[in-house]
């Protein structure tokens, strides 16, 4: 959470920093600020609220200078306020710092610094950083930053400028993302590449405890010991337009509509009829696969819901037992992992702190880890043994949509690959599934065309305070995702239940007018879902149901129905989630919510 940027070059830093922060605003948006070296003196402008407030403030107090750092905040320590907004400085205001992460031992450091005569004015953990650097400063800012980080525990990506050495930015990371953009006679630091794509697509991905010094001469990367590291420059394939709204009112709506394309892109070259599944980037050997006796899928939020679909699909196709866990739980229990365990971590951003910690735990215990991620160069992609990239392109809206469907495609593809090696499916069965997968983009397109039913239902029901989602098997997994989407962007309380659980408690909540969203795509349990529908209707519940085309009998029992183009049972999640995403979108817009930046949330959760 929080986004940081930095610029050094020949252009005005203020406008470049503001543009970068706008691109990173999805990472946090309760306050923002910039610090610029104006005639070698440190100037800071910061305020509570969105980047727009900062832009307004800067237009009244313009800052000259071609070197600066900026920050957009998601508060952890200290309420959102002008005072707690970054950048933070030492008392003499000679060293300025932006920080993403949490300094876990900040209380101890603060006490220690106070005992050495330092004073603090904010409630943040970050304020210890410029003061520690000040304490260690003895003529070299890079040496002082290295020494300061040796005292810091927790996670950090930081950018530092100082009036002592106004010709450089120093940056370092540990467990929080940071990239260095290398342009022509200019360079950038940023929490992710979207902030620099307008200027350069050449980036260095910093590893933990690597320090970057950005000067007019270029970028130098050093180890903790101060030795130069030769780092490879990577070229980003995303372009700046991919991170724009492209005429849509919100990023979320644009990303929902991009799903047919990203489903297709993620299958390209991997799923080809008549050819073996191609998992380039995954080097696990056939012997290793044959020795796997258990798979863990570990992730958070929407990615975790993709993992639940993964359990059903992998167990059905590849006949390997799968356990799915929320990363923040997995890392603190004692999971039974050994060299015969395969771990699949799923993370859109590739930076989620808990997922990363789970990955490290599994590797430490000898498991092989495959990462399914959308971001090349992300920490998870670099630490996993193998990577399956989802080709969803930049996902900017906080609510994940297109990343989820590509994660499902990734899971389906991996399941088929394992099934082939394990001989659990015949070649003909594999070909049939591939054939159906290749039709999914067209079917997703068709669903997007029938959004009027959803819009109408949302317009009639957005004022409800609670809603329920029901489904069985894979539909239950999708119901969980639909429920998360609704609550995170519309703030309507919602819960998802397996249809069979209804009678074990939740039915007590059904009363006249209670809205229940029912997924009934799974043929095997279709009649059971119809029974659940009856149970809800009998108690006054109002139902919006999703069933496969042809199942028009459902209309007799429900308030509204929408038909999903027919596909194989295991593939429905890829398309049945789309109307649920639209439903939450239209509910949220009807309520006037800020869809792309829901309250209290941040896109990438890089702290525990
Ligand atoms: O980047 P990741 O996929 O690791 O993120 C995981 C969750 O934080 C994320 O899916 C979150 O739940 C979204 N807000 C869901 O829309």
Give per-10-residue mean pLDDT for the chain (608 aa).
93 96 89 94 94 94 94 90 95 96 95 97 96 98 98 96 97 94 95 92 94 93 95 86 85 97 95 92 85 96 98 97 96 89 96 95 94 93 95 94 98 96 95 98 95 92 95 98 97 96 92 96 95 94 95 89 96 98 97 92 82
Nearest-atom index, ligand 1, CA of 380: 4
Contact 341, 367 (CB under 8 A): yes
Average pLDDT of the chain is: 94
Residue nearest to atom 8 of ligand 1 (CA): 301
Cα 255 to ligand 1 centroid, rounded to whole Å: 15
What is the C-alpha to C-alpha distance for residues 471 and 453, in angstroms, rounded to an integer?
A: 20
Of 3.60.20.10, 1.10.260.40, 3.90.1560.10, 3.40.50.10860, which CATH number belongs to 3-243? 3.60.20.10
**Ligand 1: distance of its center to the CA of 303 in Å?**
6
Closest CA relative to residue 430, chosen from 316, 320, 549, 344:
316
Structure tokens at 558: 């429900």
- Which atom of ligand 1 is least distant from the CA of 605? 8
CATH code reported for the domain at 448-591: 3.40.50.10490
For position 145, what pLDDT does the model report? 98
Structure tokens at 180: 């260095």
Neighbours of 120 (CB within 10 A): 16
For atom 4 of ligand 1, which residue has the closest CA? Answer: 347
Q: How many Å apart are CA 546 and CA 554, to the nearest integer?
A: 9
Which positions are catalytic? 2, 603
Using the mean position of ligand 1's atoms as its centre, give its distance from the Cα of residue 328 in Å: 13
Query: What are the E-state strand segments in 444-541?
Result: 466-471, 493-498, 515-519
Dist CA 268 CA 286 (whole Å): 23
CB 296 within 8 A of CB 323: yes
Q: Which of 478, 605, 607 to mutate to test the pocket of ligand 1 (most atoms within 8 A of CB)?
A: 605
Question: Are 95 and 160 contacting, i.e. CB atoms less than 8 angstroms apart?
Answer: yes
User: What separation in Å is there between the alpha carbon of 118 and the centre of ligand 1?
Assistant: 39
Strands of the 515-519 sheet, one edge to the other: 493-498, 466-471, 515-519, 542-548, 560-564
Rounded alpha-carbon distances, angstroms, from residue 383 to 22, 117, 322, 368, 511: 29, 41, 22, 11, 50
Distances (CA, A) of 504 to 4, 334, 500, 539, 574: 48, 30, 8, 15, 29
* Nearest residue to 180 via CA among 209, 212, 145: 212
pLDDT at 164: 96
Whether the CB-CB separation of 411 and 279 falls below 8 Å is answered with no
Ligand 1 mean position, distance from CA 288 (Å)? 30
- How many Å apart are CA 29 and CA 21, to the nearest integer? 10
359-375 pLDDT, tens digit per residue, is 999 999 999 999 999 99
Atom of ligand 1 nearest to the CA of 601: 14
Ligand 1: which of 177, 297, 348 to mutate, most ligand atoms within 8 Å of CB? 348
Nearest to 18 by CA among 2, 5, 37: 5
pLDDT of residue 361: 95
End-to-end CA distance of the chain: 10
- Between the CA of 203 and the centroid of ligand 1 the distance, in Å, is 24
Q: Are 530 and 520 in contact (CB under 8 A)?
A: yes
Task: Tell me if the domain spanning 251-438 has CATH number 3.40.50.10490.
Answer: yes
Q: What is the DSSP letter of 232?
A: P
Every domain range in the chain assigned CATH 3.60.20.10? 3-243
Q: Which of 414, 424, 484, 444 lies closest to 575, judged by CA?
A: 444
Separation of 403 CA from ligand 1 center, angstroms? 9
Q: Residue with structure tokens 């605003």?
A: 25
Joined tokens for residue 341 = 């365990």
The answer for residues whose C-beta is within 8 angstroms of residue 71's C-beta and 6 or more apart is: 2, 3, 4, 5, 21, 32, 33, 34, 46, 85, 86, 87, 98, 99, 100
Nearest CA to ligand 1 atom 12: 301
- In angstroms, what is the span from residue 525 Cα to ligand 1's centroid? 30
Angle between helices 301-318 and 402-422 (to 10 degrees): 20
Separation CA 375–CA 606 (nearest Å): 14
Q: Specify the residue for token string 């499902």.
A: 408
Neighbouring C-beta atoms of residue 383, cutoff 10 Å: 18
Strand partners, 546: 519, 562
Written as six digits, the tokens of 420 are: 């082939």
Q: How far apart are CA 498 and CA 480, in angstroms?
A: 9
Q: Provide the token pair at 445.
A: 């397109």
Sheet holding 368-373, edge to edge: 322-326, 294-299, 341-347, 368-373, 386-389
Task: Return the percentage of the chain with pLDDT > 70, whole number.
Answer: 100
Beta strands in 499-541 (DSSP E): 515-519
CA–chain centroid gap for 499, Å, is 29
Minimum-distance ligand 1 atom for the alpha carbon of 401: 16
Give the count of beta carbons closer than 10 Å to the beta carbon of residue 450.
15
CB–CB of 1/353 below 8 Å?
A: no
Shortest-distance Cα residue to atom 7 of ligand 1? 301
Angle at 87 between CA 81 and CA 93, to 5 degrees: 110
For 200, other C-beta atoms within 10 Å of its C-beta total 18
Q: Which residues pair with 160 in a beta bridge?
A: 97, 170
**Ligand 1 atom nearest residue 373's Cα:** 3
Intervals of CATH 3.40.50.10490 along the chain: 251-438, 448-591
pLDDT of residue 344: 98
* The residue count for the chain: 608
Question: Ligand 1 pocket: which residues have CB below 6 Å?
Answer: 300-303, 347-349, 352, 355, 398-400, 488, 601, 604-605
Give the CA count within 13 Å in the CB-facing half-sphere of 395.
31
Ligand 1: residue of 250, 400, 410 to mutate (most ligand atoms within 8 A of CB) is 400
Those residues with Cβ within 8 angstroms of residue 287's Cβ, 6 or more apart along the chain or in another chain: none
CB-based contact 394:402 (threshold 8 Å): no
Among the atoms of ligand 1, which is closest to the Cα of residue 355? 4
Q: Are strands 211-215 and 218-222 parallel, antiparallel or unpaired?
A: antiparallel
**Cβ neighbours of residue 219 closer than 8 Å, sequence gap 6 or more:** 180, 182, 187, 204, 212, 213
Substitution site in 26, 344, 352 for ligand 1 pocket (most atoms within 8 Å of beta carbon): 352
For residue 581, the model assigns a pLDDT of: 98
Instruction: Indicate which atom in ligand 1 lies nearest the CA of residue 349.
Output: 1
């Amino acid at each position: 959470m929080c986004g940081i940027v930095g610029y050094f070059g020949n252009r005005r830093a203020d406008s470049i920093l503001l543009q970068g922060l706008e691109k990173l605003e999805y990472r946090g948006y309760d306050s923002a600020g910039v610090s610029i070296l104006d005639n070698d003196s440190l100037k800071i402008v910061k305020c509570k609220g969105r980047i727009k407030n900062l832009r307004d403030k800067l237009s009244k107090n313009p800052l000259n200078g071609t070197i600066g750092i900026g920050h957009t905040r998601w508060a952890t320590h200290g309420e959102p306020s002008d005072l707690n907004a970054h950048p933070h400085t030492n008392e003499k205001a000679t060293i300025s710092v932006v920080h993403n992460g949490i300094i876990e031992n900040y209380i101890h450091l603060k006490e220690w610094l106070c005992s050495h005569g330092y004073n603090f004015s904010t409630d943040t953990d970050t304020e210890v950083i410029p003061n520690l650097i000040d304490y260690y400063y003895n003529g070299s800012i890079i040496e002082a930053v290295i020494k300061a980080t040796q005292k810091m525990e927790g996670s950090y990506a930081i950018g530092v400028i100082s009036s002592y050495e106004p010709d450089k930015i120093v940056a370092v990371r540990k467990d929080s993302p940071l990239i260095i953009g290398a342009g022509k006679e200019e360079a950038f630091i940023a929490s992710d590449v979207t902030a620099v794509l307008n200027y350069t697509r050449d980036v260095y991905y910093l590893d933990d405890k690597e320090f970057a010094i950005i000067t007019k001469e270029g970028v130098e990367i050093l180890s903790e010991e101060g030795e130069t590291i030769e780092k490879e420059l990577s070229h980003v394939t995303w372009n700046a337009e991919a991170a724009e709204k492209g005429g849509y009112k919100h990023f979320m709506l644009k990303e929902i509509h991009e799903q047919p394309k990203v489903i297709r892109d993620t299958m390209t070259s991997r799923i080809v009829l008549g050819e073996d599944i191609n998992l380039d980037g995954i080097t696990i050997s056939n012997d290793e696969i044959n020795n796997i006796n258990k798979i863990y899928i570990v992730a958070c939020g929407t990615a975790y819901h993709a993992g639940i679909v993964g359990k059903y699909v992998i167990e059905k196709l590849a006949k390997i037992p799968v356990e799915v866990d929320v990363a923040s739980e997995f890392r603190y229990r004692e999971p039974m992992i050994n060299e015969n365990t395969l771990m699949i971590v799923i993370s859109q951003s590739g930076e989620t702190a808990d997922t990363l910690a789970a990955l490290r735990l599994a590797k430490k215990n000898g498991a092989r880890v495959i990462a399914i991620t959308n971001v090349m160069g992300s920490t998870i992609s670099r630490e996993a043994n193998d990577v399956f990239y989802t080709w969803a392109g930049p996902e900017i809206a906080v609510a994940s949509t297109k990343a989820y469907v590509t994660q499902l495609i990734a899971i389906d593809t991996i399941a088929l690959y394992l099934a082939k090696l394990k001989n659990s499916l015949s070649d003909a069965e594999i070909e049939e599934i591939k054939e159906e997968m290749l039709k999914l983009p067209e079917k997703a397109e068709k669903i997007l065309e029938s959004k009027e039913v959803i819009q109408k239902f949302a317009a009639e029901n957005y004022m409800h305070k609670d809603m329920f989602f029901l489904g069985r098997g894979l539909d239950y997994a999708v119901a969980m995702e639909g429920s998360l989407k609704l609550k995170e962007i519309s703030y309507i309380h919602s819960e998802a239940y397996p249809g069979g659980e209804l009678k074990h408690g939740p039915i007590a909540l059904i009363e006249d007018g209670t809205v229940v969203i029912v997924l009934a795509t799974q043929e095997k349990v279709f009649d059971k879902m119809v029974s659940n529908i009856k149970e809800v209707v009998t108690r006054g519940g109002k139902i919006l149901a999703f069933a496969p085309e042809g199942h028009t009998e459902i209309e007799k029992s429900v308030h509204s129905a929408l038909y999903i183009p027919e596909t194989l049972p295991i593939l429905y999640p890829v398309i049945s989630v789309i109307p649920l995403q639209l439903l939450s979108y239209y509910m949220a817009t009807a309520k006037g919510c800020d869809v792309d930046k829901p309250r209290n949330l941040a896109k990438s959760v890089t702290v525990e």
